[in-house]
């Protein structure tokens, strides 16, 4: 089971770093709570979100992102597979 803790947030941030995304927490007027600058692989998340909100945003983005599994380290790959298994992210092949 996936827990919404700071440690889980850190694991997700590491996963995104491994696939060359930069995550920034800033104040802004985001209607969805986040913005993605796709050309530069930058994710900007509302800095006022709590840990659970930040994790949910990252899971939402991860479900929309094509993840090169070969770029992931052992721990990140295990996390990614766990998220797929628990259906917290959409499997790219199902879309």
CA 76 to chain centre: 11
CA 74 to chain centre: 17
Spatial separation of the C-alpha atoms in residues 59 and 15, rounded to whole Å: 11
Helices (H), the chain: 6-18, 51-64, 74-85
Q: Span 7-11, mean pLDDT? A: 96
pLDDT in tens, 24-70: 999 877 777 777 776 788 999 989 899 999 999 999 999 988 899 99
* In the predicted structure, residue 92 carries a pLDDT above the cut 70: no
């Amino acid at each position: 089971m996936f827990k919404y803790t700071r440690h889980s947030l850190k694991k997700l941030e590491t996963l995104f770093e491994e696939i060359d995304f930069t995550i920034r927490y800033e104040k802004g007027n985001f209607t969805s709570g986040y913005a993605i600058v796709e050309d530069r692989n930058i994710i900007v998340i509302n800095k006022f979100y709590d840990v659970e909100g930040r994790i949910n945003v990252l899971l939402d983005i991860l479900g929309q992102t094509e993840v090169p599994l070969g770029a992931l380290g052992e721990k990140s790959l295990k996390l990614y597979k766990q998220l797929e298994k628990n259906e917290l992210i959409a499997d790219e092949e199902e879309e």
